[in-house]
Every structure is written in C-alpha cells, then in structure tokens.
C-alpha cells in the first residue's frame, strides 16, 4: 500500500508552498500522521518535516443532464495531508 497517492497542485496550495513551506498530498485514507511523515522523508530525502495536518474531504453530490434524463451521484471521500517543512524544498515537476 502506497501512503502518498499524488501531490496536489492548485493556486492556493502554490501560494502556501511559496509563503509557508507547506505542501499538500492526497494520501491513503487509513494513513496516520507519523506514517505520512515517514513516507515524505523517504520519498524526498533532502527535506525534514516539521508538522503534518490531515483533512478528510467529504463526499459532495454531483449530477448532470443527459439524453435519458438527470443522472446523479456523489464524489468520493478522500484524505488530504498538508505537510509543513523545516528545511529544504520539494520539486514536483522533476519527477514527471
């Protein structure tokens, strides 16, 4: 099981990276804060994690109109981790 699923890159999270050395990741739903810290430090050996905050993003109703009528459903529930670094920097674009 991989704890880190993918890094999250949005305008708001880019501002957090530049100003506060905080990076966001989508993580496995059962991952704990110590496991997330260990996974970040193993994947990016040049950084030291200062703090980990986690958020469970709730499901939202979704729907669309189709030829056969309205189709409704819900988005999935997922977990987000915001990691504050002591030192170092993570370069997401070098991995692509």
Q: Tens digits of per-residue pLDDT, 41-84?
A: 999 888 899 999 999 999 999 999 999 999 999 999 999 999 99
Looking at the structure of the chain, the number of domains it has is 1
Query: For residues 23 and 10, what is the distance between their CA atoms, to the nearest angstrom?
Result: 11
Model confidence, pTM? 0.85
Residue 56 lies in a domain: yes
93, pLDDT greater than 90:
no
The CATH code of the domain that includes 22 is: 3.30.70.330
Residue 78 lies in a domain: yes
Residue 72 lies in a domain: yes
Residue 9 lies in a domain: yes
Cite the DSSP H helix spans in 1-96: 11-20, 33-43
With beta carbons less than 8 A apart as the criterion, state whether 52 and 35 touch.
Answer: no
Residue 92 lies in a domain: no
Residue 39 lies in a domain: yes
Residue 96 lies in a domain: no
Whole-number percent of the chain with pLDDT over 90: 80
């Amino acid at each position: 099981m991989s704890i880190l699923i993918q890094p999250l890159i949005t305008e708001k999270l880019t501002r957090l990276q530049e100003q506060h050395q905080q990076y966001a990741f989508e993580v496995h739903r059962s991952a704990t804060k110590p496991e997330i810290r260990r996974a970040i430090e193993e994947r990016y050996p040049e950084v030291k994690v200062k703090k980990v905050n986690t958020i469970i993003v709730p499901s939202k109703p979704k729907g669309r109109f189709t030829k056969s009528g309205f189709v409704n459903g819900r988005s999935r529930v997922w977990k987000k981790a915001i990691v504050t670094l002591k030192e170092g920097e993570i370069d997401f674009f070098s991995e692509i």
